[in-house]
């Protein structure tokens, strides 16, 4: 069976690459007229730790999203309008990650940290929904999937994406009162998705 999703995957790869590159634009070097010596430079860099944290979290989040996107399209061989639009929703949300990343970098240490973290975790709730939607659309018609995929494999992939959803909701919910804890949950979710992408690979094999 010829794979019909090559153009979708190529376009998606380009969008992921642009989205991950945009993150670095929020990292700024200090003005040479303000920083006069090494001690002042170190002090500046230390004060920018939230920017580095936000960049690192978002970089690896988008990277792992790309890995999972690649794995899920290993299972999808054909496309229809619904798949194209549900994939477009994923790409729309991925390109938007840079904005909540900037908010997190600038406001995590201040009184607005709860709102910044809520917006940051909120977009990942939406991204998780979009991945679930893509697989729901694809798996509803087995003819769209790779030849030989079993009903058990389809169910395992579905459950894999569904399991992450309540955790994202918990992170979003507690971010209004415990933003640091919500961010810690986001870090744990990165590990979960890194491991779960391996599970999808095992299903493929």
Phi and psi for 47 in degrees, rounded to 5?
Answer: -70, -15
The arithmetic mean of pLDDT across residues 109-121, rounded, is 95
Per-residue b/e over 84-107, b at no fewer than 16 CB within 10 Å?
A: eebbbbbbebbeebbebbbbbbeb
Q: What is the pLDDT of residues 16-60, one digit of tens each?
A: 999 999 999 888 888 887 888 888 899 988 989 999 999 999 999
Percentage of the residues of the chain whose pLDDT score is greater than 70: 95
∠ CA 177-183-186, nearest 5°, is 130
pLDDT on residue 205: 46
Q: Collapsing DSSP states into helix, strand and coil, what is residue 33? A: coil
Percentage of the residues of the chain whose pLDDT score is greater than 90: 68
Give the global pTM: 0.89
198 confidence band (pLDDT: 50, 70, 90): low
What's the CA gap between 10 and 13, in Å, rounded?
5
pLDDT on residue 202: 52
Contact 34, 48 (CB under 8 A): no
pLDDT on residue 134: 96
Task: Give yes or no for residue 190 having a pLDDT over 60.
Answer: yes
129 confidence band (pLDDT: 50, 70, 90): very high
Contact 56, 115 (CB under 8 A): no
5, 10, 36, 142, 185 from 81: Cα distances, Å: 12, 17, 58, 16, 35
Q: What is the pLDDT of residues 145-170, one digit of tens each?
A: 999 899 999 998 998 888 889 999 99
C-alpha dihedral over 175, 119, 190, 158, to 10 degrees? 100
Average pLDDT along the chain: 90
What's the CA gap between 152 and 38, in Å, rounded?
59
């Amino acid at each position: 069976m010829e794979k019909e999703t090559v153009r979708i995957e190529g376009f998606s790869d380009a969008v992921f690459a642009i989205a991950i590159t945009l993150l670095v634009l929020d990292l700024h070097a200090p003005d040479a007229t303000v920083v006069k010596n090494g001690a002042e430079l170190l002090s500046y860099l230390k004060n920018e730790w939230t920017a580095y944290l936000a960049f690192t979290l978002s970089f690896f989040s988008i990277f792992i999203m790309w890995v999972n996107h690649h794995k899920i399209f290993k299972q999808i061989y054909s496309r229809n309008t619904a798949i194209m639009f549900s994939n477009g929703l994923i790409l729309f949300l991925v390109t938007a990650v840079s904005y909540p990343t900037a908010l997190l970098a600038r406001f995590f240490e201040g009184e607005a940290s709860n709102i910044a973290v809520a917006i940051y975790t909120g977009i990942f709730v939406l991204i998780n929904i979009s991945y679930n939607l893509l697989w729901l659309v694809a798996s509803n018609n087995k003819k769209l999937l790779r030849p030989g995929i079993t009903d058990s494999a389809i169910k395992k992939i579905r459950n894999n994406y569904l399991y992450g959803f309540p955790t994202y909701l918990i992170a979003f919910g507690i971010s209004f009162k415990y933003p640091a804890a919500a961010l810690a949950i986001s870090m744990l979710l990165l590990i979960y998705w890194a491991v779960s992408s391996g599970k999808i690979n095992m299903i493929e094999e």
